[in-house]
Structure formats: C-alpha cells, structure tokens
Amino acid sequence: MPAFETLLSPVILFFVLGVLAAAARSDLSVPEPLAKALSLYLMAAIGLKGGVQVAKAGFTPQLVQVSLVGMMLSFALPLLAFMLLRAFARLDRLNAGAVAAHYGSVSIVTFVTASDALTRAGMAPAGYVVAVMALMETPAVITGLLLARGSGTLTGGQRGKLLREVLLNGSVVLLLGSFLIGLIIGEQRFEAVAPVFVTGFTGLLCLFLLDMGLIAMRRLRESRALTWRMAALGIAFPLVNGAIGLGVAALLGLDPGTGAALAMLAASASYIAVPAAVRMALPDADPGIYLSMSLAVTFPFNILVGIPLVLQLGPALLG
C-alpha cells in the first residue's frame, strides 16, 4: 500500500481532523465516558482476535521466541533513550528516567492503527503479536525507574504498590484476559460476537483517533516544559527504535506483517500505562515533559509518518 494511500485512510484522516480542530481551538470534544468505552472496546477487540488467531494456528516456537525478544527490547530500549536524554536534551536524572520508561513500553493505539493498516494492505500480523504487545508494557517501567532512582531508594511498600500498579494495570489485564478468552473460545465460538468486534472495529477506531488527535494537539499547544531538543528526540526515538525492531525482525526471519508490527511496537511510546506507574513511583518527575513527548510528539509522528514508513520498508526488508 503506497504511503499516500495510507495517509488517506479514514482512520488517519479522523486523527488529522482532531489535530486541526484542536489547532483551530474548536470546542469539538469526545465525552470522557465515551472515550474510555472506546478504549476498552479496542483493547478487548484486539485481544480477542489475537487469541482466536493463535487458537487457530496453535502455539509455535516462534511465538515464544518473539515474546522473549519483545521483552528484551522493552528492557533495553530505555537505556539508549536515557543516555540521549541526558546528553542531548540535558535532562536531569529523574526526568530522563521517567521519559525513558515511556520509550521501551508500547502504545496500544499505535499498534491497533498499524495492525489495521497492515491488514488492509494484505500483511496481517500473526495473532500472537497481541501477547507480545502486552508483555512489552512492563519491563520498560522497571528499567526507567531503576535509571531514575535505583531500586534501593524505594521502600518495600513502594515496591509492592509499584509491582501491583504495573502487573494489574487495566490495559494489561484486559489485553491478556481477552487474549485468553479468544484462545479458549476459538474461531467457531468467536463467530457469535464477530459482528461487534470485527465489523464495527474500524469505525470505532476512527472515533477514538479523533479524540486522540484533539488531545495530542491540545497537549502540545499547552505544554511549557517541552524544548526543541526534547521534541527532536521525540521524533528520533521512533525512527531509531523502529529500525532496531525491523532489524531484529529480519534476524528472526519474521514475515513482513509480523515484522512490521514488531517494529511499530518498538517505535511506539506509552502514554497510558507508563504515566500511571511513573506518577506513583516518581511524583517529582515533570508530566509536562514525559506526557508531551510521548503523546504530543511521538504518537502523532508514528500515526502520520511511522506507520506509512513501516508499510513501505517492511516488505522490502522482510519480504
């Protein structure tokens, strides 16, 4: 699928509509309860469909291999981000660690949007990538916190609360839970709910991306802590991390769709699960920095540039 055609997809255009509406200071908004409901729907849908696909194909050594590699990437990518944030953006250790945690974890919405684009391009990723995505949310948080403060500065109670926050985060629970449900029910029983979770998926994704476009632009417009150096890294990180993801996918011999999906997971930055954990463990870190970089810079870049780029490079490097 040509990059220009990807940019003209309804999903991307609704995101652009949200960005333009917020830039023009329109009062357009998506009610908070609806936004939360859309988020729950998307996570349940992608988890169910992934579980059903794995049930259909069966467990393979590749599933285990990619899961382990994904977790290793999540542990390692914040290290590179931390060094660049300290050296180039001149951030203090606390804020550099807080930001770094976001760039090893994943953006569910970026993955869902990329999966939709890959499927429409005839390169649907393997169903088990949903499980890989869920497993990649947590390790980066641990690395980021260790970089920012070191495990010795956290009390036993704080470590327990953090562990609970990370492992029982709503998005992780829903993704893994719906994945297991899909794995249990299989393709035949899934047909009963397929009209809800398949037919309406793209339309509801459009509405969710509209809301994300509004939020991203308003966050960027209101931010006072974001410097040009931080914004530059917010663009550089997905390019570097995505290239690492593609390189790993090539070494593993993944098909173009699955490899491109892994690359987008590596390129994305969390703005839901990780901010919640960072807010609790690093209360003195500046959310105007880590939220603005992940949500207002990296997320739009990945939606508008990263996904079309991976759609072009994936088949060329992995085909």
Average pLDDT over residues 36-40: 85
3-class DSSP state of 217: helix
pLDDT in the model for residue 17: 93
From 131-145, 195-209, 250-264, the region with the lowest mean pLDDT: 131-145
Q: How confident is the model at residue 218 (pLDDT cuts 50, 70, 90)?
A: confident
For residue 166, is pLDDT > 70?
A: no
From 92-96, 132-136, 171-175, 262-266, the region with the lowest mean pLDDT: 171-175
Average pLDDT over residues 216-229: 83
Q: 253 — alpha (psi -120 to 50), left (phi > 0) or beta?
A: left
Average pLDDT over residues 84-112: 92
From 66-70, 98-102, 206-210, 255-259, the region with the lowest mean pLDDT: 206-210
Reading the block at residue 193, the tokens are 């709910």
What is the spatial distance between Cα 66 and Cα 49, in angstroms, rounded to a whole number?
Answer: 18
How far is CA 302 from each of CA 34, 61, 271, rounded to the nearest angstrom?
24, 30, 13
Domains, the chain, in order of start with CATH, read 3-18+30-318 (1.20.1530.20)
Give the other-Cβ count within 10 Å of 184's Cβ: 11
What is the spatial distance between Cα 117 and Cα 6, in angstroms, rounded to a whole number?
Answer: 7
Q: Buried b / exposed e across 273-301, counting CB within 10 Å, b at 16+?
A: bbbbbbeebbeebbbebbbbbbbbbbbbb
pLDDT in the model for residue 155: 60
The candidate with the shortest Cα–Cα distance to 132, out of 100, 170, 179, is: 179
Q: How confident is the model at residue 1 (pLDDT cuts 50, 70, 90)?
A: very low
